[in-house]
Amino acid sequence: MTAPIRVAVTGAAGQIGYSLLFRIASGQVFGPDQPVILHLVEIPPAMSALDGVEMELDDCAFPTLAGVVKADSDHLEDGFADCNYVLCVGSVPRGKGMERSDLIRINGPIFTSTGQAISSAAASDVRVLVVGNPCNTNCLIAMNNAPNVPNDRWYAMTMLDQNRAISQLAQKSGQPVSEVTNMTIWGNHSATQYPDFYNAKIDGKPATEVITDEAWLQGEFISTVQKRGAAIIQARGASSAASAANGIIDTVKAIANPTAAGATFSAAVCSDGSYGVDEGLISSFPLTSDGKNWSIVQGQSHNEFAQAKIDATVAELKEERDTVKDLLK
Ligand code: NAX
């Protein structure tokens, strides 16, 4: 029998958790022949809601769900014990009047203890995807507090941004989403992110040959992608949940399987200094995976416009890093 994969999800009783867990448990991520044990982690006041989520998982009778482990955030090592993937979704949301730097300071301590617990309890092949915002800097904090986990196992999610960008280009060009490829998000998962349409392709051709309205690409397109999260809150009265869960699933599949020849995907990883991004920052790049390790795609060129956008988002990441300097070991 195939050994089960253990997947921890923090914030498992939250709205993204509710869209995510059932898809993982059903075999959509690791396939119909791969048993999965879910480790659900929540804060103590949410454990009762988590009981309800577990009951619903039971009631799906998924053949691929081989078990459920629950743990509260005072017992993170139990939650992450032997896990092969840790999906860090839980974090304190940004409240009214709260600055981004306040949020970073509030969530920072959560991610020091998360990093420490992953380091001491997770499986030796663990891969960690941070989704809870500010996800790049939360990931940076956790990575720096996890001495036993190599730096190339840490990811922060920009796949939802990539998918949003693909969808916008598909709609504008009238092509199916499957024809939009090589769409990279650079930098931070924030309003400074840069969706690189210059290196994207539509129907195998440079996107700028198919969509010739460069003013739209440089203006409305970028700002639509950057502000999509806020637009969804405005329309739905709640932040993106199903699309965020879908982004998590796409990311796990992208890192766990070899990337098709010529294709790329976006995730924020620990910079090795490529493209002038400070070594050690968690910044989004064009990536490929061989199913185990990722590589940053080299050799992409950026004109003055693109370089300025990348510089701005990387500058924001450096500022965030400086805000949490005391939490980095
Ligand atoms: P919810 O508020 O619905 O759920 C968050 C859950 O996390 C809650 O159940 C809460 O009890 C739990 N939690 C809080 N602190 C915790 C801790 N220390 N340990 C374990 N659990 C904890 O938020 P939801 O809509 O699910 O969003 C979760 C996070 O994803 C937020 O930080 C949000 O900003 C972020 N997002 C990131 C995205 C990305 O692309 N990187 C997109 C979607 C989303 O906005």
For the segment 173-223, what is each residue's pLDDT rounded down to a tens digit?
A: 999 999 999 999 999 999 999 999 999 999 999 999 999 999 999 999 999
Residue reference for tokens 């490829």: 181
pLDDT higher than threshold 90 for residue 299: yes
Nearest to 5 by CA among 87, 61, 111, 76: 87
Taking the C-alpha atoms of residue 85 and residue 38, their distance in angstroms, rounded to an integer, is: 10
pLDDT higher than threshold 80 for residue 107: yes
Taking the C-alpha atoms of residue 66 and residue 35, their distance in angstroms, rounded to an integer, is: 6
pLDDT of residue 92: 86
pLDDT higher than threshold 80 for residue 94: no
pLDDT higher than threshold 90 for residue 10: yes
Encoded amino acid at 300, one letter: Q
pLDDT higher than threshold 80 for residue 1: no
User: Is 133 assigned to a binding site?
Assistant: yes
pLDDT higher than threshold 90 for residue 243: yes
Cα-to-centroid distance, 14 and ligand 1 (Å): 6
User: Is 107 assigned to a binding site?
Assistant: yes
pTM: 0.98
Q: What share of the chain in percent tops pLDDT 70? A: 100
Ligand 1 site, residue 46, Cβ cutoff 6 A: yes
Nearest CA to ligand 1 atom 38: 131
- Band (pLDDT 50/70/90 cuts) for residue 280 is very high
Cα-to-centroid distance, 315 and ligand 1 (Å): 25
Q: Where are the domains of the chain?
A: 5-156, 158-325
Ligand 1 site, residue 189, Cβ cutoff 6 A: yes
- Band (pLDDT 50/70/90 cuts) for residue 95 is confident
pLDDT of residue 102: 84
Q: What is the mean pLDDT of the chain?
A: 96
Cα-to-centroid distance, 20 and ligand 1 (Å): 12
Cα-to-centroid distance, 98 and ligand 1 (Å): 16
Taking the C-alpha atoms of residue 103 and residue 92, their distance in angstroms, rounded to an integer, is: 8
User: Is 94 assigned to a binding site?
Assistant: yes
pLDDT of residue 93: 78
* Mean pLDDT for the stretch of residues 268-281: 98
CATH (one of 3.90.380.10, 3.30.1320.10, 3.40.50.720, 2.60.40.1930) for 5-156: 3.40.50.720
Ligand 1 site, residue 250, Cβ cutoff 6 A: no
Note whether 5-156 and 158-325 share their fold: no
pLDDT of residue 276: 97
Nearest CA to ligand 1 atom 1: 14
With a cut of 0.90, is the ipTM above it? yes
* Mean pLDDT for the stretch of residues 123-150: 98
| Residue 45 alpha carbon, nearest atom of ligand 1 | 11
* Mean pLDDT for the stretch of residues 72-87: 98
Ligand 1 site, residue 228, Cβ cutoff 6 A: no
* Mean pLDDT for the stretch of residues 38-54: 98
Ligand 1 site, residue 89, Cβ cutoff 6 A: yes
Ligand 1 site, residue 103, Cβ cutoff 6 A: no
pLDDT higher than threshold 80 for residue 278: yes
Question: Are 316 and 129 a contacting pair, CB within 8 Å?
Answer: no
State the chain's maximal CA–CA distance in angstroms. Answer: 56
* Domain spanning 158-325: CATH 3.90.110.10: yes
pLDDT of residue 302: 98
pLDDT of residue 20: 98
User: Is 17 assigned to a binding site?
Assistant: yes
pLDDT of residue 100: 75
- Band (pLDDT 50/70/90 cuts) for residue 103 is confident
Nearest to 109 by CA among 78, 83, 132: 132
